[in-house]
Amino acid sequence: MKIVGVAACTVGIAHTYIAQEKLENAGKKAGYDIQVETQGTIGVENELSDEQIKEADVVILAVDVKISGRERFEGKRIIQVPTEVAVKSPNKLIEKAAEVVAG
C-alpha cells in the first residue's frame, strides 16, 4: 500500500515534524510505502510529487490549519485528523488507512 500525507500544525514547528516522523515510522513498520510532506513556518518541505500522489492508495492529512495545495488530492481517499492524533496514535491511524483502502 502506498500512503502520502501532509502534516501541518497551528504554529508550524514541533507538532508538524513530530507527526511526520511518527506517521513515517508507523507506516514503514507496517510495511507500507509512505511519504509525508510538511507545511510549517519555513514553508513546504518534502513536497509530494504529482507521481507520488497519483500512485497513492490513501492520503492522510494530519493538519490543524488550512493547507496549501489540498486540491492535489481531489478524487483520492482522504483521512483527515488533527496532528495530535498522528502524534499520539500513529499505528492506529495507519491501521485505519489500511481499512479505508481495503473498503
5-61: per-residue pLDDT in tens?
999 999 878 999 999 999 999 999 999 999 999 999 889 999 999 999 999 999 999
Q: E strands along 1-103, which residues? A: 2-8, 33-40, 43-45, 58-63, 78-81
- Predicted local distance difference test score (pLDDT) of residue 13: 86
CATH code of 86's domain: 3.40.50.2300
> Residue 100 pLDDT > 80, yes or no?
yes
Domain hosting 32: range is 2-102
> Residue 94 pLDDT > 90, yes or no?
yes
- Predicted local distance difference test score (pLDDT) of residue 9: 95
Give the count of domains, the chain: 1
Find the catalytic residue in 7, 9, 60, 86: 9
- Predicted local distance difference test score (pLDDT) of residue 12: 77
Q: Is 51 a catalytic residue?
A: no
> Residue 81 pLDDT > 90, yes or no?
yes
Contact 21, 30 (CB under 8 A): no
The whole-angstrom separation of Cα 36 and Cα 51 is 14
